[in-house]
Amino acid sequence: MAKLCLYFQLHQPYRLRPFSVFELNQDLNYFIEHKNGQPKDENAQIFRKVAQKSYIPMLSLLLDIATTHPSFCFALSCSGVFLEQAQAYQPEVISLIQRLTETGQVELLAETYYHSLASLYSPVEFRRQVEQHEELVQELFGYTPKVFRNTELIYANFIAQQVEQMGYMGMLTEAVDRYLGGRPRTQLYRSYTQPPLPLLLKHAQLSDDVAFRFSNKAWEEHPLTAEKYVHWLNSYYADEFINLFMDFETFGEHQWEDTGIFNFFRHFVDRSIQYDHHFVTPSTVLEPYALAAKSTESLPVYDVPDPISWADIDRDLTAWRGNSLQNDALRLVYSMEADVLKSGDAALVSDWRRVQTSDHFYYMCVKWSADGDVHKYFSPYDSPFEAYNRFSAVMIDLQDRIRQQQPAQTAD
């Protein structure tokens, strides 16, 4: 039977509070509002709500399954801003991840600390954020990641080259038909770079059957049972890898508990083991190729000249830079890099990096139809234009703070 590689993404952004141009130069927090002298932290409220619905019950379920089935294993990737908020707002989440890590059945993946798009704009900043993330994972869990996943599985040839230079043994990304050319997504590939980087590709159909279609009563396969799902998996062969990659919040937040999602997952694992499907982690699959470079050369090439992602129908970057609002915001953010870092102001650097989080640009997306519905579901704003206006006000304040850090120019 096929090998099953499960990977879940844990991420929550710091959402911007209502911030207007009338609050400029007042040294105010961009993420926590104060009313009548009292803090109003919507990020804390959201995190705790999702923790109760999703993070805690699903992490507890995974821990129980790992204890019951020693052969069960999976991978987690937790953005740095997620881990920061977990520490501050719901420490039980950190404790559960620590307990899972101690089982030896969980692999923690590397990524950018701020869940940013830095890999597209600044190789130096990209490396800094990856290193910062690795330091936090080591501090909290005593674990050094070996495999990389980029923000939203964003990937291209030039990104693979950067990841290989950072020393990772392989990378996860999306299987995009226009670059696969009819080849299966259930085999290993290598990057179109030298030296090559081994790649695991997401099986979008089977992943999205759970992540997006599970509770859709209009779906022809509804209801999806564990028996039916495992029956689909049984059609694959022992030398194939079924890579099921999805947001952690699939369980309890996007698919609520009353849909039966938690019971489905438990029974899915039970049935998979019963049918001799082997659960694997990315590093166990990729390590033989990392140890023998010549064997990597034998893998088929996945040539991706233009960046891809796991978002939207087209699996491209238009979710974050598909219109003039997004492109203007991104241009402005990364144009600040040199001046922000030169300032040496830790608070300024932290705020600048927090506004790099990809969610801010995702909220500015103006797509319609199915993609637009997904964007609207995730956005805390009434419209993409409100998201852009709020972000722009913060950018103006950041620019003023940068100017205040710069030495005054003296006349000749």
Residue 411 confidence (pLDDT): 42
Please give the structure tokens belonging to residue 168: 């990772």
Query: What gap in Å lies between CA 151 and CA 213, rounded to an integer?
Result: 23
Using the structure block, give the residue that is written with the tokens 């994972």.
137
Chain CA centroid to CA 150, Å? 7
Q: Is 262 a member of any domain?
A: yes
Residue 210 confidence (pLDDT): 98
Q: Is 309 a member of any domain?
A: no
Say which amino acid occupies 219: W
pTM score of the predicted model: 0.94
Residue 350's H or E segment, with its range, is helix 346-354
Residue 137 is part of which domain span? 3-302
Last residue of a domain, one of 302, 331, 355: 302
Taking a C-beta distance cutoff of 8 angstroms, is the pair 381, 365 a contact? no
| CATH for 61 | 3.20.110.20
Whether residues 72 and 189 fall in one domain: yes
- According to DSSP H, which parts of 192-260 are helical? 204-211, 226-233
Whether residues 19 and 61 fall in one domain: yes
Q: Is 412 a member of any domain?
A: no
Residues 220, 222, 224: CA angle, nearest 5 degrees: 130
Residues 107, 134, 152, 253: which is the catalytic one?
Answer: 152
Q: Is 152 considered catalytic here?
A: yes
Q: What is the mean pLDDT of the chain?
A: 93
Whether residues 293 and 334 fall in one domain: no
Whether residues 219 and 343 fall in one domain: no
If one counts the domains in the chain, the total is: 2
Query: What gap in Å lies between CA 342 and CA 335, rounded to an integer?
Result: 13
Whether residues 281 and 347 fall in one domain: no
Q: Is 313 a member of any domain?
A: no
Q: Is 165 a member of any domain?
A: yes
Whether residues 290 and 365 fall in one domain: no
Last residue of a domain, one of 302, 331, 364: 302
Low-confidence ranges of the chain (pLDDT < 50): 369, 372, 409-412
First to last CA, the chain: 78
Using the structure block, give the residue that is written with the tokens 């990392």.
290
Taking a C-beta distance cutoff of 8 angstroms, is the pair 252, 261 a contact? yes
Taking a C-beta distance cutoff of 8 angstroms, is the pair 148, 199 a contact? no
DSSP-derived secondary structure letter, 172: E
Taking a C-beta distance cutoff of 8 angstroms, is the pair 186, 236 a contact? yes
Residue 218: CB atoms within 10 Å: 6
Whether residues 152 and 262 fall in one domain: yes
Residue 5's H or E segment, with its range, is strand 3-10
Q: Is 149 a member of any domain?
A: yes
Whether residues 122 and 238 fall in one domain: yes
Query: What gap in Å lies between CA 179 and CA 370, rounded to an integer?
Result: 23
Q: Is 307 a member of any domain?
A: no
